[in-house]
Structure 1
Amino acid sequence: MTLTACGIRPTSILTGAEAPTVSSHTLTIYLVTPQRDGLVRRTRDYTGTVDITTAMNVLLAGLTDEEKKLGLVTELPTTNDKAVAVLNVIVMPEGIEPPTSKWAVFQVHCTALASRAKVAGVESLPDENCP
């Protein structure tokens, strides 16, 4: 029996740095139709750490260029200030009043429901209001 080898000598195991990781998620937010007669479910890719406030902060950051071109609107004020979580309740950023219009309430409720959270100052609504 004959054995051959390719001529490469064995080496010890070479270790390298940790492999890079990226955490990518799809978030669901709700915007108002151009006719202001209903909600539209929108998904956005989000890279980074996600907690129960992330979807709400994405909603409060405003519309993307694509959403503006589609004529979608939001009845919530746009802000870069962040909502915070206290246990399983989202507290809106300081200076942002609880929503009062029907569609603003639905936007917040449905976005929170999609992220399995509750929002302080927003009453629970039946799930059939969320498309």
Structure 2
Amino acid sequence: MTLTACGIRPTPILTGAEAPTVSSHSLTIYLVTAGRDGLVRRTRDHTGTVDITTAMNLLLAGPNDEEKKLGLVTELPATSSKAIPVLDVIVMPEDVAPPTTKWGAFQVHCTALASRAKVAGVAPVSDEYCP
């Protein structure tokens, strides 16, 4: 048996850049029903880095187009400011006053509970209000 080569010289191992990766996570936020008589659990996909404030910042951004079509609302003031994490507590932006309505407080509490966080300035409420 005879072996032959194709004439290509051996080369060292060529390394390339890191393979691209995409991280997609599901986050839970709570919005108020159109009748303002309860909360609705909404799951949103989020691509990228997720920390304990991501869900709260999605809540602060308000309902997306699909949720608006469903009549869902928020009882939190609209803001483009972001919440920030301090240890295991979420600090809301300065331009966002603590919720003054029952459903607004429940939105914040239930969204924080779903992301296993605490929110500064919002008293805990019974989990029975988090659907």
The one-letter amino acid paired with 2:81 is: D
**Equivalent in the alignment of 2:88:** 88
SS at match of 1:63: coil
- Structure 1 window deviating more from structure 2 (55-64 vs 18-27): it is 18-27
**Equivalent in the alignment of 1:79:** 79
Residues 66-97 of structure 1, C-alpha deviations (whole Å, 9 max, x = no match) = 00100001000111101111111111101211
Q: CA deviation at 1:12?
A: 4.2
Aligned residues: 130
**Equivalent in the alignment of 2:65:** 65
TM-score by length of 2: 0.90
Q: CA deviation at 1:5?
A: 8.0
Report the Cα distance in structure 2 between the residues aligned to 1:30 and 1:8, rounded to whole angstroms: 66
Distance 1:11 1:35, change over 3 A: same
- Structure 1 window deviating more from structure 2 (80-89 vs 101-110): it is 80-89
Q: CA deviation at 1:13?
A: 3.0
TM-score by length of 1: 0.90
**Equivalent in the alignment of 1:25:** 25
Gaps of 5+ in 2: none
C-alpha RMSD over aligned residues: 1.7
Contact 2:33–2:40 (CA under 8 A) maintained in structure 1: yes
The one-letter amino acid paired with 1:87 is: L
Residues 27-66 of structure 1, C-alpha deviations (whole Å, 9 max, x = no match) = 1000001111110000111112111111000100111110
Distance 1:7 1:37, change over 3 A: same
Contact 2:79–2:95 (CA under 8 A) maintained in structure 1: no
**Equivalent in the alignment of 1:54:** 54
Asked if residue 16 in structure 1 is aligned to residue 16 in structure 2, the reply is yes
Gaps of 5+ in 1: none
Q: CA deviation at 1:99?
A: 0.4
Report the Cα distance in structure 1 between the residues aligned to 2:22 and 2:73, rounded to whole angstroms: 31
Matches within 5 A, 1:95-110: 95-110=95-110
Distance 1:18 1:37, change over 3 A: same
Report the Cα distance in structure 1 between the residues aligned to 2:2 and 2:71, rounded to whole angstroms: 72
